[in-house]
Amino acid sequence: MEQNGDLVYSRPLKGAPEWGPLKRTHHRIDLETFDGIKTVDQLMRRVFSEFPDTKGIGTRQQLGEDNQAQADGRVFKKLVLGEYEWITYRKYEAKVELVGRGLLSLGLRPKQNVCVLAETRMEWMLTAQACFRNNFPLVTLYSNLGDDGLIHGLNETEITHLVTTSELLPKILSFIESVPRINTIIYMECPYKKTPKPAAPREGLRLIPFSQLEDLGKSADPALVGGEAQSEDAAIIMYTSGSTGVPKAVIITNNNILATAKGFQTALCQLRADDTYIAYLPLAHIFEITVELTCIAKGMRIGYSSPLTLTDKSTAIREGDLGDARVLKPHIISCVPLVLDRIRKSVIEGAAQKGIVFKTFIEFAISYKLWWTSWGFNTPILNRLIFKKVKSIVGGNLQVITAGSAPLSADTHSFIKACLDVSLLQGYGLTETTAGATLMEVSDRSVGRVGPPLYGDVVKLIDWTEGNYSVKDKPFPRGEILVGGATVTKGYYKNEKLTAETFVTGEDGIRWLYTGDVAELHPDGTLKIIDRKKDLVKLQFGEYISLGKVESELKTCPLVENICVYGNSFQTFLIALISPNESALDQLAASLGKRKCTFTEICRDQDIVRAVTELITNHGKKCKLQKMEIPTKVKLCSEQWLPDTGLVTAALKIRRNIIQDFYRSDIDRMYAESE
């Protein structure tokens, strides 16, 4: 039996009110690992010295591809995959050294920005480690920012050297004349395609395969040496994926990264040095970078994956082949809420396909387990007979899931904990706090909360009058979250005005980040995210609606893959733009006699739209949404909401303004029909 008694996870600083500043009271961190460490490279050198023969970095073999056509005419690329191949930390460090020397031989110098524009893979982190070692500030960009966003970022940071992939190279070359400073592009090759080296479209532009970097490093002039970074030097200049406006870059120092990696160690307390982390979230997001570095600092193994190959049902996995998680059998994984929502829906869908009796039994088993685990007990018989098969979806060894990026519904939180028999630790942070602000403790058995302040940080709430939130609210203080401490970054790159507006030193001497997110503070010192200032909309009769809250609840509906809720001050009701779960929508269509329709036809069928609207209404009531919070009209979107389409970020969060602009004619039509 696990005991947590009446633990209080954070307390106000001496003399402070109950709403903060708050400081964490418990941690399970090996502080010796970070003793005397001032930079990321120093931490990595310690790891390489302590675990030289650990097979620490793994990549799955990609042997080819197989394009498969669907019934609706869409074609999906399926990969032919082999086993994971591993290299030791000793060999990995040698690669880091050679890649760094290769970059020096190509003209890079300390404190000169270098950009990586690529999907998550070993070479991405290898390049990052080489940059940390030589004090090259690493600029990160998401490939789905669009040409204008990429051009803006590359020019603003004055990039001369760009590291990318062969797949993205044509896109970059299409606008290369708009980024005149770039003189060197290093591209990571496709593992299974032997393509000829492309011709440079302009004089003086070098195109170099990534595989040649190590050779360049071996032959580099010994007199070429990199710089030794300092604690407050910029390690990363990270562009946010940007749900609105021009992308902005955050300056993240070595000290910021170390502070988050130190705080995140509390999530690894039940794991061992030889356990495995599966890396698939975008490395262009600071959350993924810091989690990987946290695991490496413990001497764990990192196996690289992709959202396209993660599970047996991922889009690039051939029918009958195993996804990366089944092959790798990881002990820890990081997830955004949308991924956990999808796992939940796939389990529910699979149970429903076996009949009402089995579905009812699964629901009972989950409810039964949740009751016992809420008291600190487990259910070993149910785990062995029922939940073991569910857990095998992610390899069978999973012990810890860390969740961040967006609020996770309490229903999904409890469901995943029960079905996968794991510790699901939800945290909260922003790029501006190096992904770290709060994190749950393993002993916290609650769901739907994001824990106390991260070790080394302080958090407080302040009133937000417009949203009607006050630190004196009962039963819980409520207000905008302010974060202070070692994870709070320097500010925005070349944007002093925005930095001054967002990062403010208070009368208490603490430099605070104004997050724009709203939370309530529970008596045990943990936070629950309840709103976001940017997501607030006022309807015609003055009612304030939190769009993020509504979306978080409606995402738990089996028919909803993703959702964007819209409202404005000239209307009396909300509209829901829904990216539907194809399987669930097909079942609904079949129940209405629509058996020979394409997916696009199903989404446009008015009988189906009316049925979905009714389902959304009933689900909203079940989630205890107020009448004015439940969308009155629904649009089923047949377009895929993927980072490649630009409608969601690389972390799968909706890009609200872009979605609204894309479906503007549909929004206008639905409001016009109600007049």
pLDDT of residue 145: 77
CATH number at residue 379: 2.30.38.10
Rounded to whole angstroms, how far apart are CA atoms 488 and 10? 19
- Is residue 334 assigned to a domain? yes
Rounded to whole angstroms, how far apart are CA atoms 468 and 61? 54
Residues 294 and 313 in one domain: no
Residues 107 and 192 in one domain: yes
Where does a domain end: 256, 275, 304?
304
Structure tokens that stand for 188 in this block: 């990571």
Q: 602 is in which domain, residue-wise?
A: 539-673
Instruction: Tell me if residue 147 falls in helix, strand or coil.
Output: helix
The residues with which 238 forms a beta bridge, in sequence order, are 140, 250
Measured CA angle at 285 (ends 280, 287), to 5 deg: 80
Instruction: Kindly report the number of other CB atoms within 10 A of residue 456's CB atom.
Output: 18
Residues 299 and 209 in one domain: yes
Residues 207 and 294 in one domain: yes
CATH number at residue 550: 3.30.300.30
DSSP-derived pairing of the beta strands 423-428 and 400-403: parallel
Where does a domain end: 251, 271, 304?
304
Residues 439 and 293 in one domain: no
Give the total number of structural domains in the chain.
3
Rounded to whole angstroms, how far apart are CA atoms 185 and 207? 5
- Is residue 174 assigned to a domain? yes
Instruction: Tell me if residue 491 falls in helix, strand or coil.
Output: strand
- Is residue 479 assigned to a domain? yes
Structure tokens that stand for 36 in this block: 């005397």
Residues 426 and 452 in one domain: yes
Residues 211 and 329 in one domain: no
Q: Which residues contact 60 (CB under 8 A, 6 or more apart)?
A: 81, 82, 83, 84, 85, 303, 304, 305, 309, 324, 327, 328
Residues 475 and 610 in one domain: no
Q: What is the DSSP letter of 387?
A: I
- Is residue 441 assigned to a domain? yes
Instruction: Kindly report the number of other CB atoms within 10 A of residue 203's CB atom.
Output: 5
Q: What share of the chain is helix, strand, coil (3-state, %, to 5)?
A: 35, 25, 40
Please list, residue by residue across 271-310, b when 16 or more beta carbons sit within 10 angstroms of its beta carbon and e when fewer do: beeebbbbbbbbbbbbbbbbbbbbbbbbbbbbbbbbbbbb
Where does a domain end: 269, 304, 339?
304
- DSSP string of 504-571, one letter each residue: EE-TTS-EEEEEEEEEEE-TTS-EEEEEEGGGEEE-TTS-EEEHHHHHHHHTTSTTEEEEEEE--TT-
pLDDT of residue 76: 75
The residues with which 673 forms a beta bridge, in sequence order, are none
Residues 144 and 276 in one domain: yes
Residue closest to 243 by CA, chosen among 629, 647, 672: 647
- Is residue 497 assigned to a domain? no
- Is residue 223 assigned to a domain? yes
Alpha carbon of 281 to those of 189, 284, 476: distances in Å?
A: 20, 9, 34
Residues 461 and 483 in one domain: yes
Low-confidence ranges of the chain (pLDDT < 70): 1-6, 69-74, 241-245, 540-542, 596, 675
- Is residue 504 assigned to a domain? no
Residues 521 and 630 in one domain: no
pLDDT of residue 13: 95
CATH number at residue 43: 3.40.50.980
Residue 123 CA, chain-centre distance (Å), reads 20
Residues 169 and 298 in one domain: yes
- Is residue 507 assigned to a domain? no
Rounded to whole angstroms, how far apart are CA atoms 453 and 438? 4
